Structure 1
Amino acid sequence: MKLKFGALAAVALFASTAHAQSSVTLYGALDSGLLYQSTSAALASAPFLPNTKLNGNAGHVVQLKDGGIYSSIFGMKGTEDLGGGYAANFKLQGAFNTSNGQTQRFSVPASLGSSIFTQVTTVGLSGPFGKIDFGRQFAPMAYAMAETDVRNAQYFGSVLTAWLTMNTMSGWSGSTTNGQIGALYDDNSIVYNSPSFYGVSTALQYSPGGVAGQAQGGTRESAILKYSGFGLNADAVYYNGHDANPFPYTSPNAAVPATGLNNNRFVYFGAKYTWHGFSVSGSFSNGRNPARPNAAPPFVVSGDFDMWTGGLGYRFSPVFDVTSGVYYLKDNKHNANQSTAYAIGGNYRVSARTALYAQVGYVSNRGQMNQELIYGTPVAPGKNTTAVNFGLRHTF
């Protein structure tokens, strides 16, 4: 009996210890501000399609805008210490619009399903080997772009908004998160992040498509090589996908059968250097659809784009910094289609969790281009546009 009671006591003590070494955290952010934009359009156009007319200029717009810096989010994450330096982890995160309370985009049009956690739903393990996560998550290329952009891939005037334009110009309607070029999020993903060796690390991604009878149907794969040290962040990205954006622009509620076509490729090289509060960044990338090698009539946009970026920033104090960037896009097969966006913004942290921001941007769109200045607010294609945004971001 003493042995039995001793064993029960040991089990209870172990369970108590395991519980003490586990944690669950609720977290979130609210980001909202006032936006003025000198031109606007009903939606992001896909002018490469036959017989598709450009959206006209609907005029200037003044609106309450969610996500001047990043989207408003709510989530929970947890970890359990497994001993020996190993841990089990999970993360659930969804984005929502503070101006109306609606959840933001996920992998299918709203008419075909719903989602609470629109950004991340992962479970995984971490340890001396690195970290591996399973589920819907940010594609590793998204982190690489943010790490090598002075404006940190923010929602206003950054490498993110320029890259999103590459997608819309290639036929992405924005009704789902399945982009035409690269990916911000990927469903069904397995992502491995290695430990850092003298500042060098890798991230590898594979997303099985789960399509019966089609081994490559809907698959995604990517590899990222990173260096971080002595104030320098440098990243190289290769992303490849099959059956990108299964919901076409012409009928966004109808899925396209998987064919296994290799139609989504993105390569990126970027670096950012920071010294005594001063930061400079630059990058080059190319996005294309290998399954559509030419842009013969009636296509007026090729879907094959180069992107060049540059940025400068300075942290004046621990609570105040200014960042600026230039983002240039070019259609490789139609020289008339070019776009250059300029953005500058300042952030002032009034506390550890609350920041005020102000930013202004200008974009020169030529030909059929429609580079946006802020994510989710289309501009009139082929028109020069100015945008001004003031806002508040609070994290908890």
Structure 2
Amino acid sequence: MKCPRIALAISMLVASAAHAQSSVTLYGLIDTSLLYSSSARVNAANPAAGGGTQWQEFAGSLSTPRWGMRGAEDLGGGLSAEFLLESGFNSTNGTLKNGGDLFGRQAWVGLNASQYGTVTLGRQYDFVVTYLAPLGATGSGFGGNLAQHPYDNDNLNNNMRLNNAVKFSSVEFHGVKVGAMYAFSNEAGRISNNNAYSAGINYALGPIKLSGAYLQINRDANAQNATGAVSTGDGDALTIGGLQRIYGLGAQYMFGKSSVGLLWTHSSTESPSNLLFGGSTSNGALPGPSNGAGNYIKFDNFEINGRYFLKPNFSLGASYTYTMASFNSSTGNAFPHWNQVMAQADYLLSQRTDVYLAGVYQRVGGGNGIPVFDAGVYTLTPATGNQQVVVAAGLRHRF
């Protein structure tokens, strides 16, 4: 007697879902590796304490583990409601990422008009991430986290999200997509203290993709608004300081599944006091009076990358990034530059599971003895000097 009742209940639910033409999908990804780092500091914030070889189990050498829910409801007339909630976690110990925020990666709701595009509201990515990052090796590119540019200064590795954001992304029209967004400061009487805006354009013609994007964050270095567009409490801020600008251009050529890409990005921050270094801005303190007048730091990143599929389920990839920076403070200047090479082999065991071997070599010069300009790959423990080698062997599964 119970079975017919259960079957009837299920059929009623399915019929109801089909009538409303709505759906909710649970998805996720887990990436865990065994990782080697050379010259790792014993104390990440104190290079004078010495260092040595580090072996560890590490979550997210390529892709940060996450789970989420996405959904849509057809409202008729080409209009639909959409939402996405996404949570990052550490697969080696089960703890939450993004400062412990439950949905610290993304949390937004929006409307999609099939003829025009989508408007979304909430915590979401800017157009540097949306349009530029897929053409590079880091972030949503094949090289993932280990290919991150120093301090993720250009946000291509999508460490930073914008809170309180309204975002419009157009549909493709003759190969062109455009987008713009604005993120509120949410501070009474100070609309420009930690608000942000971003815009981008993407063009696709056959195997060629071209993209450009811009992001600006307006902040008062002497009166930080921690709950504005960029949070300083969740560990996702790339720098702590004043006005920040990021922009760049990228190109990619596809031949089959394989690709070659070129990118240039520029970033600058006025009155910086900390950089994201070793997984924390507390490890990236810059010398000089905090928020000193006239202080600034700027970066230019030049990347070439390529990925080649030897077989449909086996690929080799590599990238080279040259980064040059200029740092100015009342107590001293520095002109550091980074050479970073990433190489990777990836083998698909199935459509959802792969194993990989990835390595990075980074060398820094011109740091003027400032510890934060020592070598440091991704959010791993920084090096005690100007060179670091990282090798990871991992397993990644999508569901």
How high is the TM-score relative to the length of structure 1? 0.78
Given the alignment, which residue of 105, 126, 129 partners 2:98?
105
Letter matched to residue 387 of structure 1: V
Residue 330 of structure 2 is matched in structure 1 by: none
Q: Supply the distance in 2 between the matched residues of 1:378 and 1:18 (Cα, whole angstroms).
A: 51
| Residues 36, 60 of structure 1: 8 Å contact kept | yes
Given the alignment, which residue of 273, 282, 286 partners 2:262?
282
% identical aligned pairs = 26
| Residues 340, 363 of structure 1: 8 Å contact kept | yes
Residue 326 of structure 2 is matched in structure 1 by: 332
The alpha carbon displacement at 1:275 in A equals 1.6
Q: Supply the distance in 2 between the matched residues of 1:223 and 1:282 (Cα, whole angstroms).
A: 20
Report whether the alignment pairs 1:91 with 2:84. yes
Residue 65 of structure 2 is matched in structure 1 by: 72
Structure 2: stretches of 5+ with no match in the other structure? 1-11, 227-231, 236-240, 273-285, 328-332
Given the alignment, which residue of 390, 395, 399 partners 1:392?
395
Letter matched to residue 244 of structure 2: N
| Residues 208, 253 of structure 2: 8 Å contact kept | yes
Q: 1:177-200: CA deviations, max 9, x gaps? A: xx8x99631111111101111111
The residue correspondences of 1:336-355 to structure 2 (distance < 5 A) are 336-355=335-354
Letter matched to residue 349 of structure 1: L
Given the alignment, which residue of 118, 133, 145 partners 2:120?
133
Residue 35 of structure 1 is matched in structure 2 by: 35
Report whether the alignment pairs 1:372 with 2:376. yes
What's the secondary structure of 2:133's corresponding residue? helix
Report whether the alignment pairs 1:271 with 2:251. yes
Q: 1:186-239: CA deviations, max 9, x gaps? A: 111111101111111112110011111112111010111111221122111111
Residue 209 of structure 2 is matched in structure 1 by: 233
Report whether the alignment pairs 1:120 with 2:106. yes
| Residues 62, 146 of structure 2: 8 Å contact kept | no
Instruction: Answer 1 or 2: higher relative contact order, Cα 8 Å, separation at least 6.
Output: 1
Q: 1:56 and 1:224, CA in 2 relative to 1: closer, same or farther beyond 3 A? A: farther
Q: Supply the distance in 1 between the matched residues of 2:92 and 2:25 (Cα, whole angstroms).
A: 25
Letter matched to residue 284 of structure 1: W
Given the alignment, which residue of 149, 166, 169 partners 1:190?
166
Structure 1: stretches of 5+ with no match in the other structure? 1-11, 46-52, 107-113, 168-178, 256-260
Letter matched to residue 87 of structure 2: G
Alignment RMSD, CA only? 3.1
Q: Supply the distance in 2 between the matched residues of 1:206 and 1:43 (Cα, whole angstroms).
A: 39
Q: Supply the distance in 2 between the matched residues of 1:201 and 1:347 (Cα, whole angstroms).
A: 31
Q: Supply the distance in 1 between the matched residues of 2:90 and 2:108 (Cα, whole angstroms).
A: 22
Letter matched to residue 217 of structure 2: G
Given the alignment, which residue of 146, 161, 166 partners 1:157?
146
What's the secondary structure of 1:211's corresponding residue? coil
The alpha carbon displacement at 1:336 in A equals 4.3
| Residues 157, 341 of structure 1: 8 Å contact kept | no
What's the secondary structure of 2:191's corresponding residue? coil
What's the secondary structure of 1:60's corresponding residue? strand
Q: 1:285-340: CA deviations, max 9, x gaps? A: 11112467xx99779x9511111111122112221111100111111355641111
| Residues 248, 264 of structure 2: 8 Å contact kept | yes
| Residues 232, 274 of structure 1: 8 Å contact kept | yes
Given the alignment, which residue of 198, 203, 221 partners 1:222?
198
Q: 1:253 and 1:82, CA in 2 relative to 1: closer, same or farther beyond 3 A? A: closer
The alpha carbon displacement at 1:277 in A equals 4.0
| Residues 149, 321 of structure 2: 8 Å contact kept | yes
Q: Supply the distance in 2 between the matched residues of 1:254 and 1:198 (Cα, whole angstroms).
A: 40
What's the secondary structure of 2:128's corresponding residue? helix
Q: Supply the distance in 1 between the matched residues of 2:337 and 2:242 (Cα, whole angstroms).
A: 26
Q: 1:213 and 1:381, CA in 2 relative to 1: closer, same or farther beyond 3 A? A: farther
The alpha carbon displacement at 1:254 in A equals 12
Q: Which moved more, 1:87-96 or 1:358-367?
A: 358-367
Q: 1:54-111: CA deviations, max 9, x gaps? A: 56542111000100211111111110011121110011100100111110124xxxxx
How high is the TM-score relative to the length of structure 2? 0.77
What's the secondary structure of 1:164's corresponding residue? helix
